[in-house]
Every structure is written in structure tokens, then in C-alpha cells.
């Protein structure tokens, strides 16, 4: 009987090898098949009898195992701890056989030729195939900022590997530690921005990641506020910058300082620089709004820098032509209010803010002071136009004593432009009407009834009568104070136009158990 092996690496191109039968009845090839580690060989045994009859075995396969392959995963590095800090590194074995005992060493230095050891190597008692292990190296507590480290796997060449060239991993770290922060500026790889964390910014050691992004939400937020993104150094397209901590559960305890290098020869940037319209803006993820920061410009270096609020980590360099604060209008519910008017003891102020660039609700765009005393935020109700973010309505209902009062309003738009307005009012402390009349009188078709109440009336009843005492029209007003107007169309309850003649208005105002009654004469003459 004749034996032959048919083998292939891809089941397309097949090769032949002679086969012989051993004393124990097994068939084996007369020579070895030598292929690279990790290869897979498919094969069948073909037996041919003396009569030419053939017998083919099922398809079989064999995998040529690879030796261990060790390397440090540079993306896995983390820093942790407060008083004692550790740098954690994941070592991987991507080979298909286990690695025995080996050592891992940590070095520091900008270049491999002048690196220095950061302590004794750590011994690893083996890693299984396709597995990994995490090691921790002590990190000097005083070493922060930009640091370059090198991790050498199998530092003593104890393991024979498939690839001996990937044992050294270089990692650029940006480090913040308690007591030092980042120990100065840490600059991006492209040198177009920097972040600096102060000494008390973090409670435990962390690695910083600096990056860029520009998506639809960021772009629409800029368009909504009429902001023009400006080119950062070396870039030609709009972008925003961000930084993150390796411990995503950790909140900053102090404001960070951020900076962006701008292109001094860019015509758009120059145009906004000439109008003092270049600022850094912080992105509010919740409200999808940009807020201008108090920005310092170093025109010699082409650098814009600012303090970034604790809760913000994304920022951008943009220009705005808006140099005016929001418009501010104050009304009092139930009356036609102007500054200096009489109001009730419990007036409801409605403050309307509007700005073409927008208002960031999360950045406290409005503050109030009553009689030089700040009003707590929780005493104000604030609503915003969610579509444009360009208007706000603030409702404030204080309880006032008799006498004169002042209300100071300060409003700020997303560019940091501020507007202020102060209105005064007086609480008379007595419930009376100081004027009541209609104009014009006589009237042709319509007339306006105007009156002035010194305190809030819970209800005002306006009733019109003929000279014979027949009631022809009535109107009730509720919760009114100060100067109030009500327009009458000269028609009765059924909508019929009144005839020429004399009519009477009965005015009744009530507040608790207090009541005011007045009667006025009016005439219709067409």
C-alpha cells in the first residue's frame, strides 16, 4: 500500500509529501514541513492499494504555535494615590505559548540613549498565552507635569520571543499630583494649546489627556451665539480643545488655566483682535451653550489664556463682534410699572432679558439686589427660550415693608458683556385710590379707564350704569396695584353700541376686609 500526504496553507494550493507507515501502524511524512510560527497547515492522508483503489482521510489541521511575545501596552498607563503614588502598566503576552519568569524595568528620559532608571526592575513569574498582567511602580510624589517614560519588557532577556524588537515602549505622560497640580503648563503634542492645574486641583495623582474635537453640537452652539471659531496655531479648520483625567470619577477642586495659541497672520483673527473681540469660550455640555471667559491676550506670543471653571473641560478660541450687554426690562404683574411707582407689599416683578449672542443659564447670567442686599438665586424663578437661548424671564416676588425700595439688576451675556439697571418703587402702606378717571371724556366710541392704587387690590370691579341705574357692562380685575388702565369699547354686555348720553362708572376695590368705592360720570357724544 502506498501512502501520501496532501497539505496546504490555504486549502487552494496543495502540496504532496511521501508517507511511510511506522511499526505501530501510524502514517507519517518522510520529511518535516517547516513553516512560520502562527501558521495553520491543512492536510489529508491518501492511501493507494495494489489494485489502484484509493482511500482519502478527513481534512485535518495543525497549528504551529508561536513563542511568547511580550510588550507593555502604552495606552493602559494609569497613575493613582495621594501620599504614595503608583504608575500602573499592563504587560501583554500575545504569543500562543506561555512566558516564564521575566523582569520589567521603568526608565525616564526624553531619549533612550540618556534614559535613567526609576528603580529596580519588577519580576513577573510568567504570563499565560494570550494573557496580560498589571504591574505597579512607585512614582516620585514630586514629579509632575510633562514626563517621558520607557517601559522595557523582559529587561534581562530571560524569555525567547517571537518578536524581540517590541520590548521597549515609550510613553509621554502629563501628570497632576496633589500639592503640585501639573507644576506648570502641560502643552499638547501639536503645541497649539496648554492646560495648567494649580497645586490644590486634584486630591489624588492623575494622568491628563489633551485633545481636540468639533462636532455638530459645538458648531450649532457657536452659530446660535453668532460666534466665529478662530484658527489655532498650525490648524486650518475650526476646533475645540479638551482635557480629561484618567480617573473619570475625580472632580477638580480648583479652576484650571488654559491657553490657545492663535495665528497672528490670520485675517479673520486680526479683524476680531482689532475690535477686542477675541476670547476663549467654555462649553457647557448640559445647556449646549458657549460662555465667554475673562481672557488675557499676549499679542507678542499670539496666546489667549483664561481661567476655566471647575465644571468645564472643553474650550475654544472664537471671535465676536458683540460688545453690548443684554437689554433689561422690568414689569410688575397687574400694573403698568415705571421706576418710582407705588407697588403693593407683595409685588411680582418680571424681568425680561434679551441678547443677540445668547445667555447661558448655568453661568448665572442675572443677579438681583434689593435695597443693596443680594437676592438668593433660589428666590428667583428663571425660564429661558430653549430654542435660541437669547432671552430669559426672571420672576421675583419679595415681601416689602412700607417705604421706598430699590431693585438692582445685573445681566451678563455669553461674551461677558454686562448690563445693569436699577428701578425704585414705593409701598404706601395704605389701601386707597389716588386717581380715577376715563379719557377721553366725552368719548366717541372707545375710552380708557385709568386709576392708581396705593396698595394691591385683590379684586377691582368696574361697573357701568345708565342714568336710570341699569347696569350695562362690568369687568373684574384681580391682583392689581399702582397705575392701571382698562380699555372700554363703548358697548354693553351684549355687544351693542351705546347711544349718546351720560353714564356712570362704579369703582369698587377690595383688599381683605378693606373696601374702596368711587363713582365717576362719563359721557358718550358722537
3-state secondary structure 325-378: CCEEEEEECCECCCCCCECCCCCCEEEEEECCCCCCHHHCCEEEEECCEECCHH
Bridge partners, 209 (sequence order): 244
Task: Please say which residue of 404, 426, 448 terminates a domain.
Answer: 426
Q: Are residues 457 and 351 in the same domain?
A: no
Tell me what pLDDT residue 51 has.
82
Integer Cα distance of 432 and 198 in angstroms: 62
What's the grid cell of residue 473? 357692562
Instruction: Give the Å distances, CA to CA, from 329 to 133, 409, 421, 425, 445.
Output: 65, 10, 8, 15, 33
Residue 9's φ and ψ, nearest 5 degrees, are: -95, -15
pLDDT tens string 371-382: 999 999 999 999
Residue 389: pLDDT band (50, 70, 90) is: confident
Burial class (CB in 10 A: 0-12, 13-18, 19+), 116: exposed
Q: What is the pLDDT of residues 453-467, one digit of tens each?
A: 888 899 999 999 999
| Residues 292, 350 within the same domain | no
Q: Are residues 309 and 191 in the same domain?
A: yes
State the average pLDDT over residues 13-27. 92
What CATH number corresponds to the domain at position 466?
Answer: 2.60.40.4070
Length of the chain, please? Answer: 526
Rounded to whole angstroms, how far apart are CA atoms 232 and 303?
9
The per-residue pLDDT for 342 is: 87
Tell me if 228 is assigned to some domain.
yes
Say whether both 287 and 381 belong to one domain. no
In a domain, 509, yes or no: yes
Are 455 and 481 in contact by the 8 Å Cβ rule? The answer is: yes
Identify whether the C-beta of residue 292 lies closer than 8 Å to the C-beta of residue 222.
Answer: no
Its pTM surpasses 0.85: no
Cell output for 444 = 366717541
Rounded-to-integer distance, Cα 413 and Cα 393, Å: 14
Q: Phi, psi at residue 37, to the nearest 5°?
A: -60, 140
Average pLDDT, the chain: 92
Q: What is the CATH number of the domain that holds 147?
A: 2.60.40.10
Is residue 359 situated within a structural domain? Answer: yes
Provide the strand spans (E) within 121-277: 122-127, 131-139, 145-153, 168-176, 186-187, 193-196, 206-213, 228-229, 240-245, 256-261
Same domain, 101 and 217: no
SS3 277: coil
Is the pLDDT at 363 greater than 80? The verdict is no
Q: What is the CA radius of gyration of the chain?
A: 41
Distance CA 195, CA 244 (A): 11
Identify whether residues 221 and 335 lie together within a single domain.
no
Chain center to CA of 227: 17
Residue 94 lies in a domain: yes
**Over residues 33-38, mean pLDDT:** 82
Cis upstream peptide for 395 (omega within 30°): no
Average pLDDT over residues 88-94: 96
Give the Cα separation of 448 and 84 in Å (integer): 80
User: What's the pLDDT at 116?
Assistant: 95
Residue 386 has pLDDT above 80, yes or no: no
Contact assessment for residue 297 and residue 278, using Cβ atoms and an 8 Å cutoff: yes
Per-residue CA distances from 252 to 86, 158, 244, 245, 306 (Å): 20, 44, 10, 9, 16
Q: Is the pLDDT of residue 63 over 90?
A: no
Over the stretch 345-362, which tens digit does the pLDDT of each residue have?
888 999 999 998 888 877
Domain stop point among 264, 295, 319: 319
- When pLDDT is averaged across residues 150-157 and rounded to a whole number, the result is 96
Answer yes or no: do 229 and 293 share one domain.
Answer: yes
Average pLDDT estimate for 337-345: 88
Per-residue pLDDT at 481: 86
| Residue that the C-alpha cell 399702582 belongs to | 482
Domain boundary among 128, 153, 176: 176
pLDDT at residue number 36: 79
- Residue 25's pLDDT is 86
DSSP string of 460-506, one letter each residue: EEEEEEETT--EEEEEEEEEEEEEEEEEE-SB-TTSPBPPSEEEEEE
Structural domain of 505: 433-524
Helix (H) or strand (E) holding 91: strand 85-93
- Whether the predicted pLDDT of 167 surpasses 80: yes
In a domain, 116, yes or no: yes
**208 in a structural domain:** yes
Residues 394, 486 within the same domain: no
Q: Does pLDDT of 434 surpass 90? A: no
Assess whether 400 and 492 both reside in one domain.
no
Residue 6 pLDDT level (bands cut at 50, 70, 90)? very high
Cα 179 to Cα 142, 145, 277, 478: the distances in Å are: 9, 12, 36, 62
Mean pLDDT over residues 6-13, rounded? 94
Say yes or no to pLDDT of 18 above 90.
yes
Same domain? For 245 and 337 the reply is no
Q: What is the pLDDT of residues 188-225, one digit of tens each?
A: 988 899 999 999 999 999 999 999 999 999 999 999 99
Cβ-count burial of 386 within 10 angstroms (0-12 exposed, 13-18 middle, 19+ buried)?
A: exposed
Per-residue pLDDT averaged across 37-65, rounded?
90
d(CA 454, CA 343): 7
Cell readout for 101 is: 519568569
User: Is the confidence at residue 388, as pLDDT, over 90?
Assistant: no
Residue 429 has pLDDT above 80, yes or no: no
- Looking at the chain, the whole-number percentage of residues with pLDDT higher than 90 is 77
What is the CATH classification number for the domain harbouring 417? 2.60.40.1220
Cβ atoms within 10 Å, residue 441: 15
- Cβ(266)–Cβ(278) below 8 Å: no
Q: Residues near 77 by Cβ (< 8 Å), separated by ≥ 6? A: 87, 88, 89, 171, 173, 207
Do residues 15 and 135 share a domain?
Answer: no
Q: How far apart are CA 218 and CA 263, in angstroms?
A: 21
Total count of domains within the chain: 5
In the numeric block, which cell numbers belong to residue 472?
Answer: 350695562
Give the tens place of pLDDT for each residue, 95-145. Answer: 999 999 999 999 999 999 899 999 999 999 999 999 999 999 999 888 999
Asked if residue 193 belongs to a domain, the reply is yes
Query: Is 86 in the same domain as 161?
Result: yes
Band of the pLDDT at 234, cuts 50, 70, 90?
Answer: confident
Residue 181 included in any domain: no
Amino acid at each position: 500500500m502506498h501512502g501520501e500526504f496532501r497539505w496546504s496553507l490555504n486549502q487552494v494550493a496543495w502540496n504532496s509529501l511521501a508517507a511511510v507507515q511506522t511499526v505501530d501502524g501510524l502514517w507519517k511524512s518522510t520529511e518535516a514541513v517547516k513553516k512560520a510560527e502562527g501558521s495553520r497547515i491543512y492536510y489529508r492522508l491518501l492511501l493507494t492499494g495494489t489494485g489502484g483503489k484509493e482511500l482519502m482521510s478527513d481534512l485535518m489541521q495543525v497549528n504551529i504555535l508561536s513563542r511568547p511575545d511580550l510588550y507593555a501596552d502604552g495606552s493602559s498607563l494609569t497613575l493613582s494615590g495621594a501620599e504614595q503614588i503608583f504608575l500602573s502598566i499592563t504587560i501583554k503576552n500575545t504569543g500562543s505559548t506561555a512566558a516564564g519568569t521575566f523582569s520589567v524595568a521603568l526608565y525616564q528620559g526624553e531619549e533612550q540613549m540618556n534614559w535613567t532608571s526609576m528603580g529596580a526592575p519588577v519580576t513577573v513569574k510568567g504570563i499565560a498565552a494570550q494573557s496580560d498582567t498589571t504591574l505597579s511602580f512607585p512614582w516620585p510624589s514630586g514629579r509632575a507635569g510633562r514626563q517621558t517614560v520607557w517601559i522595557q519588557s523582559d529587561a534581562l532577556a530571560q524569555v525567547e520571543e517571537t518578536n524581540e524588537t517590541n520590548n521597549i515602549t515609550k510613553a509621554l505622560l502629563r501628570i497632576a499630583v496633589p500639592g503640585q497640580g501639573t507644576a506648570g503648563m502641560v502643552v499638547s503634542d501639536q503645541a497649539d494649546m496648554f492646560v495648567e492645574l494649580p497645586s490644590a486641583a486634584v486630591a489624588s495623582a492623575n494622568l491628563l489627556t489633551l485633545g481636540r474635537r468639533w462636532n455638530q453640537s459645538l458648531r450649532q452652539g457657536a452659530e446660535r451665539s453668532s460666534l466665529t471659531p478662530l484658527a489655532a496655531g498650525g490648524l486650518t479648520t475650526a476646533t475645540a480643545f479638551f482635557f480629561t483625567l484618567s480617573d473619570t470619577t475625580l472632580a477638580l477642586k480648583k479652576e484650571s488655566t488654559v491657553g490657545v495659541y492663535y495665528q497672528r497672520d490670520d485675517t479673520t483673527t486680526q479683524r476680531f483682535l482689532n475690535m477686542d473681540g477675541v476670547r476663549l469660550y467654555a462649553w457647557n455640555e448640559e445647556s449646549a451653550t458657549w460662555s465667554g471667559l475673562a481672557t488675557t491676550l499676549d499679542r507678542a506670543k499670539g496666546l489667549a489664556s483664561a481661567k476655566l471653571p471647575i465644571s468645564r473641560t472643553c474650550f475654544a478660541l472664537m471671535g465676536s463682534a458683540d460688545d453690548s450687554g443684554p437689554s433689561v426690562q422690568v414689569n410688575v404683574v397687574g400694573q403698568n410699572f415705571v421706576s418710582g411707582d407705588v407697588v403693593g407689599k407683595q409685588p411680582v416683578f418680571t424681568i425680561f432679558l434679551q441678547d443677540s449672542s445668547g445667555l447661558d443659564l448655568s453661568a448665572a447670567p442675572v443677579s438681583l439686589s434689593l435695597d443693596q442686599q443680594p437676592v438668593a438665586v433660589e428666590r428667583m424663578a428663571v425660564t429661558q427660550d430653549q430654542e435660541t437661548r437669547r432671552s430669559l424671564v426672571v420672576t421675583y416676588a419679595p415681601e416689602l415693608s412700607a417705604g421706598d425700595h430699590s431693585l438692582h439688576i445685573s445681566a451678563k451675556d455669553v461674551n461677558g458683556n454686562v448690563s445693569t439697571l436699577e428701578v425704585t418703587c414705593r409701598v404706601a402702606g395704605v389701601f386707597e385710590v389716588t386717581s380715577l378717571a376715563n379719557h377721553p371724556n366725552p368719548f366717541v366710541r372707545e375710552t380708557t379707564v385709568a386709576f392708581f392704587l396705593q396698595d394691591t387690590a385683590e379684586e377691582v370691579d368696574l361697573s357701568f350704569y345708565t342714568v336710570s341705574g341699569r347696569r350695562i357692562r362690568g369687568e373684574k380685575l384681580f391682583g392689581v396695584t399702582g397705575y392701571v388702565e382698562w380699555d372700554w369699547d363703548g358697548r354693553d354686555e351684549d355687544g351693542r353700541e351705546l347711544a349718546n348720553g351720560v353714564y356712570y362708572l362704579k369703582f369698587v376695590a377690595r383688599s381683605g376686609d378693606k373696601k374702596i368705592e368711587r363713582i365717576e360720570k362719563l359721557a358718550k357724544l358722537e
